[in-house]
Amino acid sequence: MAGLIAGRPPRVHSDKAMSALSLVIRPEHPDDAPAIGRLHARAFGPGRFARTAYRLREGVPHADALSVTASVGSFLVGSVRMSPVQAEGPAFLALGPLAVDPSFSGRGVGSGLMRAALEAARAAGEGLVVLVGDAPFYARFGFTPVPPGRLSLPGPVDPARFLRLELAAGFSERVSGIVTAARAR
């Protein structure tokens, strides 16, 4: 991927399978919100509001500069968001939701979104990203289960799905306790 400007992921055209469709991956813009809401409804359904991952982010505005969308023409086909969270210690990031329109799945959109969002977080000097999701998918980006006992979530979650990626070595040692929405930084 091309270099970052001011910590924001650049517009890129993805490689391989999507190239014929001119996939554009770019930072989220406030005007994207309605299309992202519709995408979440298609990908997750009404049960999404009851999930622990949703509760974790409730009431926190996501970070636009670290959140990324994928579009084909004027059609928004994918989105990943990052939100500031905290426990005891310095603030860090929660990743999610990640969603790709079902008609575009399996074509590298989700992976492209993940790479762009993590690159933006790294460039912004963030130290840690946590998420709730399928370990076999997120392992390819370096996520591993949060070791038991150190961090917990404000609701029930399968421990095998509570994952982390350290962007700064040793950052995890500096945080502990219940992860909640971060106060304004």
Ligand X SMILES: CC(C)(COP(=O)(O)OP(=O)(O)OC[C@H]1O[C@@H](n2cnc3c(N)ncnc32)[C@H](O)[C@@H]1OP(=O)(O)O)[C@@H](O)C(=O)NCCC(=O)NCCS
Can you give the binding site for ligand X, defined by CB under 6 A? 43, 98-100, 105-111, 133-134, 136-137
Rounded least distance, CB 53 to ligand X, Å = 8
Sequence-ordered list of residues with C-beta below 8 angstroms from that of 5, at least 6 positions apart, any chain: none
Shortest Cβ contact with ligand X: which residue? 110
Q: Which is nearer to ligand X, 85 or 183 (CB)?
A: 85
Residue 73 one-letter amino acid: G
Q: Which residue has the tokens 């304004």?
A: 184
| Closest alpha carbon to 159 in 136, 180, 132 | 132
Q: Where are the beta strands (DSSP E) in the chain?
A: 12-13, 23-27, 68-72, 75-88, 92-100, 128-132, 144-145, 151-152, 162-166, 176-181
Residue 60: CB minimum distance to ligand X, A = 18
Shorter beta-carbon distance to ligand X: residue 15 or 134? 134
Nearer to ligand X, 111 or 176 (CB): 111
Minimum CB–partner distance for residue 100 and ligand X (Å): 4
Supply angle C-alpha 106, 109, 110, rounded to 5: 85
Minimum Å distance from CB 138 to ligand X? 7
Q: Say how far apart CA 103 and CA 68 lie, in whole Å.
A: 19
Report in angstroms how near the CB of residue 183 gets to ligand X at its nearest: 26
Nearer of residues 9 and 110 to ligand X, judged by Cβ: 110
Considering the complex, what minimum distance in angstroms separates the CB of residue 125 from ligand X?
26
In the bound state with ligand X, the residue whose beta carbon lies nearer, of 149 and 156, is: 156
Question: What is the rounded CA–CA span in Å between residue 170 and residue 163?
Answer: 16
Q: Which is nearer to ligand X, 84 or 112 (CB)?
A: 112
Tell me which residue of 129, 124, 120 sits closest to 27, measured CA to CA: 120
